[in-house]
Chain A
Amino acid sequence: MPHHVKSKALSHLRICDFTGQLAGAGATKFMAAFGAEVIRIEDPSNHGRWDILRGMPPYVDDRRGPELGGPFNNHNVGKLGISLNIKTEKGRELFERLVAISDCVTENFSSGVMRSWGYDYDALKQIREDIIYVSNCGFGHSGPYEKFKTWGPIVQATSGLTMSSAIPDQPPAGWGYSYMDHTGAYFMAMAIMLAIHHRNRTGEGQYVDVAATEAALTLNGPVLLDYTVNGRPLRRDGYPDANHSQFPAMAPHNIYAAKPVPGSFDEAWIAIACRNDEDWHKMRDVLAADGCDWASNDAYGQLSGRLAAQDELDSQIAEWCLRRDPFQSAEILREAGVPANAVQTPEQRIDQDVNSSEARLWPTIRQAEMGRLRVDGIPAHFTKTDWSMTRGAATLGEDNDYVYGELLGLSQDEIAGLHEEGVI
């Protein structure tokens, strides 16, 4: 399907959207790519700066300003943008008219912000009986930490994901970015769509409480059951050991230094995993053919022997990995049937990996002030209602005429008047 055709998957849905940053904005970005009409509301009195990403780097050129930030654009592709000061009487009236014609209201403010404006679920339900209200905040809307504040790294820290990302005898490495802002947004998108399906079946709207920390907690995996069933905590000597594989046990399984790639950085790394003895035997043959006599050590023939001598095995493999750049070694291993890849730099994975172009992963959009640039696409394709991305993040109030004029029926004069008064 050509990418400029707008998806009809969700084109029957309208979302009245207060989300921002990435933890919220990512959810409605996904739905907008599939055709949902997402109307993003921003406060004109501070130029939408509640969203701290507005105007933040990186930038496409030397210009700076709230409409020129790369991250904000990336996370708000395909949404409509209106300005609305909800602290004014007329602003509240307009908001309520919007709610009345929307399927969902979405936000990721700190707990209690919507309530302080007088718009909790019960108030929204008064406006539209079957409204779906999805609120996403770090610790959710009840419990001892309800008032605590988070962003991605805090969510990751408190849920276990930071601690489990480490190698032995080192402090936590954590995640080098807000994994849980992305993934919190994924769970928010799931929650929105689950509630819509429920409404489709029953006619009922509802309130949904999404806590990114809880989504994160569920992502720890079997290590949690190792504790609840076997009483074995991850906080113990020699662990976490994230580059080795305990569940399932594999060896070798690590990230090794490699010869730098010409023209790239002065460090390079390769990830290698032998899933079973068969993989190891294939790798052993590659190594033996390359003069590594140690690889034929009988003790390495079975997993138990490789696990027992894991550190020595790692140092021997590390020596071999330094002979070539990681792309060369990975290709040799994969040809032999052994899982291996370079630790790719952003340039390598985005612009040099054939899979990026096959997947049409980085669509070029146009944003009113930044012009044409690439953004994160969607890593899936549909045969009938595929996604599209063509328009970048809306500038402040870019869609006021459409939303206030066409959807709410205001005249041009009325819209101009509201603008004059600072309502929009």
Chain B
Amino acid sequence: MTTSSNPLAMMALDDLRVLEIGDERGAWCGKLLADMGADVIKIEPPEGDPSRQYEPFADDEPHHERSLFFWYYNTSKRSIVMDFDDRSNADAFLKLAGSADIIFDTNTYDPVGRLGVDYHQIMSDNPGLIWCTITNFGFGSVRDDEPQTDLTLAANGGFAWMNGYDDHSLPPVRGGGQQAYHTGSNYAFMSILTALLHRDATGVGQHINVNINASVNVTTEAGSYSWLVSHSTVQRQTGRHAGVAPSMPSQIKCADGRYVNTGIPPRRPAEFGLCYQWLEDEGLLDQLPEAALLLVGAELESFSLADVFRGDNEELLAIFGAGREAFDLLASKLTAYEFFTKAQNFGFQVGVIHSPEEALEDPHFVDRGMQVRVEHPELDREVIYPGAPYQLTKGSWAITRRPPLLGEHTDEVLDKL
């Protein structure tokens, strides 16, 4: 298990000051910046960011400093409180903006309008400033004042249409973990980095207009290009790619009741041979009369998958069927985790379907440093957070501080302006 940070190490973005003004839609973008070393100053209203009131709470005790939702998205940031309805704060806001390299906002609090400051003046006084706006439909959209949430954006932008079950009497499924907001924030961070590299080369900043609905739309793989290229529409299927035509199931329940995704079942001569060997290793050959077909498959000259898909070669179809039968039988005898690791050791692209907490505790991810301990001194405890989404060898990722208390840094930030 790794500790959260080495205070002496340089971090890739520790030359940057960022103002975060907004709600949960942009908080993930702020975390991506802050965990790479940027000094992200989250400007909260006097009552605090709304997500401080969100479940779950530490020990299930509701309190604005105990929201695990807020904690998750606000590591490594500082917090100041500023009341945008008090125009005497305009001067401090302008000084903060003048000291910033990046501002990003979700168009929630409208500091410009409420404080009566001039956006164009801010941009011309600080010509290197990158100001990124993250909104549901893009700043200035005719739809931008509509009420929306992560769920309704996932429905509008295409996630929901593609996720669900073979049984279409069951509803489409959103997916866990607020991925519409994540996707908007991912594009915001990529866009900010793009503008930053341009600024590194030229000194020039600019405004970026990020659209969450559009971000979801272009994160749908075949859902979009099937329509764009051939005006065909994919349909949802249990545990596998939505398709224009139905495909074979790829999710199997194992002996322990947990599932694996079988990915791509055996389809090459060598793989039929390995599948046979796996059955033999497990002592299961006598339970699968079709196993002999796998040996036939192993001896085949190479063939095209098109020959299989055409569906008129009965021998090939029987061999492929035997491969699937073998996987089903193996799964019925093994736990999901055993099936996964054994299959992968034979070279099959199979995945155990972990719950999020099982993934966090998986020996591979533990070995890779994906459990990071962060001190929460007020609660006298260490909290385990997930680690780095990418491993830079220089200027690398770290959680530099626990999420900030409300207004914890107001004085130290404003006094230095």
Contact = CB atoms under 8 A, between A and B. Distances in A.
B200 A197 contact: yes
B331 interface: no
A269 interface: yes
B391 to A, nearest CB: 4
Given A243-B173, A271-B155, A358-B138, A374 B228 contact: yes
Contacts of B388: 214, 218
Contact of A166 (B154, B173, B198): B173
B214 A359 contact: yes
Contacts of A71: 221-222, 225
Contacts of A197: 12-13, 193, 196-197, 200
Nearest to B306: A64
A198 B395 contact: yes
B281 to A, nearest CB: 18
12 contacts: A9-B194, A157-B351, A186-B187, A193-B190, A193-B194, A201-B15, A208-B391, A213-B359, A220-B386, A222-B68, A339-B151, A346-B158
Given A174-B239, A214-B365, A179 B179 contact: yes
Interface in B347-386: 347-360, 362-365, 367-368, 370, 383-386
A422 interface: no
Contacts of A208: 390-393
Top 4 closest pairs, chain A to chain B, by CB: A164-B176, A379-B214, A157-B351, A160-B356
A246 B174 CA distance: 13
Task: Name the interface size band of chain A.
Answer: 35 or more
B5 interface: no
A353 B207 contact: no
B228 A153 contact: no
B36 interface: yes
B79 interface: no
Contacts of A189: 190, 193
Given A349-B157, A380-B187, 13 more contacts: A143-B367, A149-B344, A158-B351, A161-B175, A177-B220, A189-B190, A234-B357, A248-B53, A269-B171, A334-B147, A346-B220, A375-B228, A379-B184
A223 B142 contact: no
Contacts of B352: 157-158
Query: Of residues A150, A158, A338, A362, which shows the largest number of chain B Cβ atoms within 10 Å of its Cβ?
Result: A158
B353 to A, nearest CB: 5
A349 B393 contact: no
Given A145-B364, A186-B186, A214-B368, A172 B239 contact: yes
A101 interface: no
A84 interface: no
B174 A255 contact: yes
A297 interface: no
B328 interface: no
Contacts of A177: 162, 220-223, 234, 241-242
Contact of A378 (B204, B218, B365, B384): B218
Contact of B210 (A217, A226, A242, A380): A380
A282 B3 CA distance: 48
A162 B165 contact: no
A239 to B, nearest CB: 9
B39 to A, nearest CB: 15
B198 A9 contact: yes
Contact of B198 (A8, A179, A210, A269): A8
Nearest to B376: A229
A225 B71 contact: yes
A140 interface: yes
B177 A221 contact: yes
A342 B12 contact: no
Interface in A262-290: 265, 267, 269-273, 275, 279
Interface string A212-256: 011101111111111111101111000010110111111001111
Nearest to A239: B355
Interface stretch (B84-92, B107-115, B258-266, B314-322): B258-266
Contact of A165 (B73, B163, B195, B364): B163
A350 B370 contact: no
Given A228-B385, A247-B56, A383-B206, A173 B368 contact: no
A300 interface: no
B183 interface: yes
Nearest to B357: A227
B164 interface: yes
Nearest to A236: B355
Interface in B83-139: 137-138
A349 to B, nearest CB: 5
A230 B200 CA distance: 44
Contacts of B310: none
B356 A223 contact: yes
A225 B399 CA distance: 15
A362 B229 CA distance: 11
B63 interface: no
